[in-house]
């Protein structure tokens, strides 16, 4: 399973909103500017997140988006499933060799366990704790 820009940018939006949780609605334009992303693309991503009940929209001059639940109550798995669909590295059938089928299930379950046990709160706390390792490669 490869996570597309939909999933990655959706996670970026949600982490940005989590960092500002309790501060009122955040304009999508400011999220786009902070992360150097297309506001138009983020608008396409926020709609399914809103429809899934993960964010709320507030209309008006001081409107924007805010998390529908506390950051502790939303997982990376919630976001990825909304934007990417079911979590599965490969499609398999019951007719497939049992050993391979078991391998695919274990991989799927391991990925799901990591995503479902990672809350937005833990992601933003990890980032704030100075754990954003940057590597410099020289050739």
- What confidence score (pLDDT) does residue 135 get? 43
Q: For tokens 């608008």, what's the residue? A: 43
- What confidence score (pLDDT) does residue 139 get? 47
- What confidence score (pLDDT) does residue 131 get? 55
Average pLDDT of every residue of the chain: 89
Percentage of the chain lying above the pLDDT 70 cut = 90
Read out DSSP for 3-62? --HHHHHHHHHHHHHHHTTTS--B-HHHHHHHHT--HHHHHHHHHHHHHTTSEEEE-STT
Dihedral of CA 108/76/129/73: which sign?
A: negative
- What confidence score (pLDDT) does residue 134 get? 46
Residue range 24-76, pLDDT digits in tens: 999 999 999 999 999 999 999 999 999 999 999 999 888 999 999 999 999 99
CA 74, 38, 115 angle in degrees (round to 5)? 25
Dihedral of CA 25/30/34/38: which sign?
A: positive
What is the pTM (predicted TM-score) of this model?
0.85
- What confidence score (pLDDT) does residue 133 get? 52
Most confident of 42-56, 100-114, 120-134: 42-56
Instruction: Please give the domain boundaries of the chain with CATH numbers for all domains.
Output: 5-125 (1.10.10.10)
């Amino acid at each position: 399973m490869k996570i597309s820009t939909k999933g990655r940018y959706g996670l970026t939006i949600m982490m940005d909103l989590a960092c500002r949780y309790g501060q009122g609605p955040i304009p999508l334009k400011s999220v786009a500017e902070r992360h150097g992303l297309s506001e138009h693309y983020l608008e396409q991503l926020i709609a399914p997140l809103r429809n899934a009940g993960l964010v709320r929209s507030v209309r008006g001059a001081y409107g924007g988006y805010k998390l529908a639940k506390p950051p502790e109550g939303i997982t990376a798995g919630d976001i990825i499933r909304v934007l990417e669909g079911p979590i599965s590295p490969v499609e398999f059938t019951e007719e497939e060799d049992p050993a391979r089928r078991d391998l695919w299930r274990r991989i799927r379950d391991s990925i799901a366990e990591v995503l479902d046990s990672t809350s937005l709160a833990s992601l933003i706390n990890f980032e704030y704790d100075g754990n954003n390792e940057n590597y410099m490669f020289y050739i």
